[in-house]
Amino acid sequence: MSKKFNTGGIKTLLGNSAQLEQAIKENKEDVVRELTNHILLLPIAHIEANADQPRKDFDPKALDELASSIKIHGLIQPITVRRLHEKAYQIISGERRFRASKLAGLAEVPAYVRLANNQEMLEMALIENIQREDLNAIEIAMSYASLIEECKLTHEQISERVGKDRTTITNHLRLLTLSDNIQDAVRDRNISMGHARALAGIKENAALQLSLLKKIREEDLSVRAVEDLIRKYQETQTSQKPAANKRLPDHLRNIQDQFSAFFGTKVALKRTEKGTGQLVVKFENDGELNRLIELIEEK
């Protein structure tokens, strides 16, 4: 096999399994390099979606808009696929463009062709999507998790491959510890990644997380405001006497935590064996008191 290919030569190789296998056996590096340097037109009918694609939701309106653009200008950015056999290719990246091209009625699409086994394909798909696609923070976090779980990459290896520092990767992965309600809010872009990171810092208190999620949505709180509320809550928890908490049964501690989450401040629940007791809600100043009064009046 010659070490110099032209586009026609690459097409010929891809269409002839025996010749391609022989070429790969003789010099796989050159075949891979030449495939990387050429864009080929592939029949849409020969391309299938990738089940490991991290993006699951595609906005129909955005797809229609992209399809309209493709009808006028064509598909400007090629998709990337791996070759299964001469009439079957699987998408590595570019499923959104592929779907829009089908809507636009294209018979062929420009594509980069890769040679890869399943693990290499998944790694390439996840990395290319992280770098090129407009994924939300949860989708990126899921992609990082897949690189760790399925491709057996370390945080350091992911950092090298995607060009992000390890802290960024760790912060994304922490989002996956959040409840479904909060993850959905991130996916729908109702809250930012900054909000989600702050909420992830109090994962031991689900009631407080959900209470703050509601406040973020209703009051359009900034990330700084949420961090301040969390800090105040944590300060009150630190100053709380451990012995008092230990005397409360679990079901009463849960009730105390729910009141604390609702008011966004320290709440002390005291109850005697006879069932009598008191609920003490702490406030720092008149402004804090007015906020508590407003909360009660709203209910």
Q: What's the pLDDT at 4? A: 47
Q: Could you give the residue numbers annotated as active site?
A: 95
Do residues 143 and 126 touch, judged by C-beta distance below 8 A? Answer: yes
Query: Cα-flanking dihedrals φ and ψ of residue 246, to 5°?
Result: -65, -25
- pLDDT number for residue 56: 67
Model pTM greater than 0.85? no
- Reading phi first (left if > 0) and then psi (alpha if -120 to 50, else beta), residue 275 is in left
Nearest alpha carbon to residue 140 among 122, 154, 126: 126
pLDDT value at residue 273: 77
Q: Is there a contact between 271 and 281 (Cβ–Cβ < 8 Å)?
A: no
> What does the domain layout of the chain look like in residue ranges?
39-172, 203-298
Q: Would you write out the chain's pLDDT as a tens digit for each of its 299 residues?
A: 444 444 446 666 666 666 677 777 777 666 766 666 677 888 999 999 877 666 667 888 889 999 998 998 888 788 888 888 778 889 887 888 999 999 999 999 998 887 766 567 667 767 877 875 577 889 888 888 878 876 788 888 999 888 888 889 999 999 988 988 899 999 888 999 999 999 998 877 888 888 899 999 999 999 999 999 988 888 877 665 554 445 678 788 888 888 887 777 888 888 877 778 888 888 777 777 777 777 777 65
Contacts of 5 (CB under 8 A, 6+ apart): 13, 30, 34, 38
Q: Write down the pLDDT at residue 277.
A: 85
CATH level 3 topology of 39-172: 3.90.1530
The per-residue pLDDT for 34 is: 67
Three-class SS state of 42: strand
Whole-number pLDDT of residue 244: 44
Q: The tokens 């009808």 sit on which residue?
A: 71
- Residue 285: per-residue pLDDT: 75
Q: 265: left (phi > 0), else alpha (psi -120 to 50), else beta?
A: beta
Tell me which residue has tokens 């110099």.
Answer: 4
Interstrand relation of 277-281 and 40-43 (parallel, antiparallel or unpaired): unpaired
